[in-house]
Every structure is written in structure tokens, then in C-alpha cells.
Amino acid sequence: MSTSTAASLQITAARPYPELLDLPWEVPLEEWPEEHLAALPRGISRHIVRFVKVGGRVIAVKETNAEIAHREYRMLRMLNRLDVPSVAPVAVITGRVDRHGEPLNSVLVTRHLQYSLPYRALYSQTLRPDTAKRAVDALAVLLVKLHLTGFYWGDVSLSNTLFRRDAGAFAAYLVDAETGELYDELSPGQRNYDLDLARTNIAGELMDVVASEALDADLDEVIAIADRIVSRYRALWSELTEAESFERGDRWRVEARIRRLNDLGFDVGELAITTDIDGTSVRIEPKVVDAGHHSRRLLRLTGLDAEENQARRLLNDLDSYTAATDRQGEDEEIVAHDWMADVFEPVQRAVPREMRGKLEAAELFHEVLEHRWYLSERAGRDVGLEEAVNSYVVGVLPAKPDERAVLGVDTEAIRVIADD
């Protein structure tokens, strides 16, 4: 959408944003009055950037030239559609002139990422090298996600990243995409260039923080922290992309690989399987999925209505079943039907009738899988499902409280009332 607000002013946005018309675009951004500005911490930028209050929200406004503004706007829109952690673009405003008719720079408008902080603000609050390590770890995860989508950043740095606190760690978001390019797939050379640039920039940025006495670290510590992004990135990339070979009977290794990926914050989109005489080679490729994806997929394939984490676990087992039975080329619905008959339903039937009210079916199956995992890890071999469920029913399930007791009403009575 393009709207003329004056003789030359143009606003390009994905949707109408009339509140933008109330801002003083005829004034250079560095001279905007305080009444429009939000007092939020700003990172270092080669451009003039201001946080602005508008319509009950906060936006970030960055002055740049028109070509760069439009290019970054389009790039951020693509990254948002790919569900990559990045700021959301709002508009590009071009054709600005001051009160004397002199041209002003164009601006890119993005939404402020709530609860986010630039890296310097992290160190102003927690003056420990460990904070820097966690920020670098988060940046490594972000860089891997970007590279997996085919995004070449070209300007990787802590300054071009925003951080949100995440249960003792940090989650990183891309905030500057003006140098980025999107490809079908990145070459090793492109990935390594981004990685080398990240290490160099991080070292320089941390030295600046040390010089300002906001971070207590010596040169060796700074170099070690900067090098950390290389080791973390390569370990994560390897975990996500390298093939793993194992014997046909070692199905638990597929589960182990999926668990490691889930622990790293990645969901498994598919299992690409190739079979040869010596064994089975498994390549697990992650795919970013939207909220509720697993619940919807499980419901479509099996008719089971489960919570998202339960659904993800059950689908992981379905994928492992597909790999173990060498049926990756078959119709997914048919394989899911057989998994229900061969795996899921036998587990439910193995539970004595008097204990079936303790847990919902999906949660029960999840707990059996957890129990099987621990038994297999301890034994160093794949413990069969029958052995695992028998062990669980004897040693774990009896200690679980009945759901009907928690609810304060007999679950059978609830079922009868619902049927009526």
C-alpha cells in the first residue's frame, strides 16, 4: 500500500497504519521532540534510530536511504514469513522534506520487540563474562536458524541482534537485515564467511564493553568468548545436518537424535531415510513449524486430540516407527494407522483396567516412552516397547494419582454424562 501524505511523502506498508501520519516526518529524526519518544535502551547503529510511541505501541524508526529501506523492509517480511526470529517490519517512508523543502532521509519502521535488550544493556545489568557467553550461545542458535533457511547475513554482530531473557538463557533476534541475501541454500563458503565475521565483530564489540568498564574480562577471556560462537555454531550445525548410521535394531538411536534436537530448540520436520546392506543411514532435517502444528498433524493422522508437547512426542515416535519399518515412501496416513494398531493401542491395552483412569491416553503413552528411553539408555540397547510398558505398569504407574481423584468426580461418570 502506498499513500501520499503530502506533496512528496510516501508510506509503503503491508496494511494501513494511519497513526504514522501524526508523526513529525518533516523534522530530522535526531531532532524529534521528547513527547514522541520512548525511553528504551538503544544499541549501537551506523544509522540514527529512535523508539517512538504511536497508537499505544512502540515502534523503531531508522533513517537510511530509500533503496536500502525498501530492500530491508522486503527482506524482513520474507524472514517473518519463514518464522525466523527477527523484528517485524511496519513501513517504509520516503519523500521526506523539511519545512524549507530540503530533502530528508527515508526511514524504515519496525515494531519494537517487547522485553528485548541490546547487548550493551545486558552488561549494564549483569557484569559477568557468563552473560557474554550466553548471549553468544543465543547468537549461534540464531545464525544456524538463518543459515538453514538460506539467509546470508553479511553483517553478523551482537549490535545487530536483540536479546530476550529466556529462563536463565537468552533468545536472539535479528534486528538489521540490510546486508542480507536469501538463497535456496548457502554454500559452506558463505556460512564460514558469516561465522568468521561474527567472531571478529564479537571480539571487537566485547573489547569496547571492557574498555567502558561494563564487562570485567581480560583479553584472553574476550578472545575465548568470541571463539565460542564458532564452536557452538559448528556443533549445532553438525547435530542438525549430519547423517547418522546405525544398525536396524538400534531404533533408540533415532529417539536419542530427536531428543538432542528438541533440547536445542529445534523441531524435527522430517526423517530422510536411506537403507543399504550394512545398516540404515538417518538424516534428520529440522523445519520451523508454527504453533499448534504438532497437535493438528497428530489429529489429522490419528484422530488423537493432544496437547502440543504430547503431540510432538507421539509424532516423534511415529517418525521413528516409520524409519524402523523402512516405510518412509508410503502414504503417511496408512503408516499412522498401522502405528496406532501396532504401537499406541497395545500400550493402552497393557494397562490394567483399574489403572486406566490415572492418566489420559496421550500422557500415558508419553510416560511409557520416557520410561523406555531411560531403560534403553541404562542398558545401552533398545529396550522393546513391551518390556518398557510392563516395567512402567509395575514400577511407576501404581504410584500415580488417579485423575478422577484429582477432579473430584469419577471419570466414568463424566463419560456417561457426556454421552447422554
Per-residue pLDDT tens over the stretch 292-309 = 567 788 888 988 887 767
Whether pLDDT at 383 is above 70: yes
Q: Are 388 and 273 part of one and the same domain?
A: yes
Which residue would you say has higher pLDDT here, 243 or 211?
211
Domain CATH number, residue 95: 3.30.200
Q: Are 396 and 282 part of one and the same domain?
A: yes
Give the pLDDT band (50/70/90) at residue 62. Answer: very high
Q: Are 283 and 183 part of one and the same domain?
A: no
Question: Please, what is the average pLDDT of the chain?
Answer: 79
Q: Are 333 and 224 part of one and the same domain?
A: no
Cα separations in angstroms, 76 against 28, 122, 151, 181, 328: 24, 25, 11, 11, 35
Q: Are 263 and 327 part of one and the same domain?
A: yes
52: helix, coil or strand?
strand
Domain CATH number, residue 183: 1.10.510.10
Q: Are 333 and 221 part of one and the same domain?
A: no
Q: Are 78 and 128 part of one and the same domain?
A: no
Q: Are 281 and 375 part of one and the same domain?
A: yes
Distance CA 317, CA 326 (A): 14
Q: Which of 199, 224, 241 is the last residue of a domain?
A: 241
Distance CA 162, CA 272 (A): 34
Q: Which of 215, 241, 267 is the last residue of a domain?
A: 241
Q: Which of 75, 92, 111 is the last residue of a domain?
A: 111
Query: What's the confidence (pLDDT) of residue 413?
Result: 37
- Put simply, whether the predicted model's pTM sits higher than 0.85 gets the answer no
* Domain span at 371: 244-419
Beta bridge partners of 106: 64
Which residue would you say has higher pLDDT here, 254 or 326?
326
Tell me the residue type at 206.
L
Query: What's the confidence (pLDDT) of residue 321?
Result: 87
Q: Are 268 and 399 part of one and the same domain?
A: yes
Q: Quick one: CA torsion of 315, 316, 320, 322, rounded to 10 degrees?
A: 30
Q: Are 28 and 170 part of one and the same domain?
A: no
Query: What's the confidence (pLDDT) of residue 378?
Result: 87
Q: Are 90 and 177 part of one and the same domain?
A: no
Start-to-end CA distance of the chain, whole Å, equals 54
Q: pLDDT of 208-230, one tens digit each?
A: 888 877 777 788 888 998 999 99
Query: What's the confidence (pLDDT) of residue 414?
Result: 31
Q: How many domains would you assign to the chain?
A: 3
Distance CA 207, CA 229 (A): 16
- Asked if 175 and 144 touch (Cβ cutoff 8 Å), the reply is no
Cβ count near 118 (within 10 Å) = 21
Q: Are 52 and 184 part of one and the same domain?
A: no
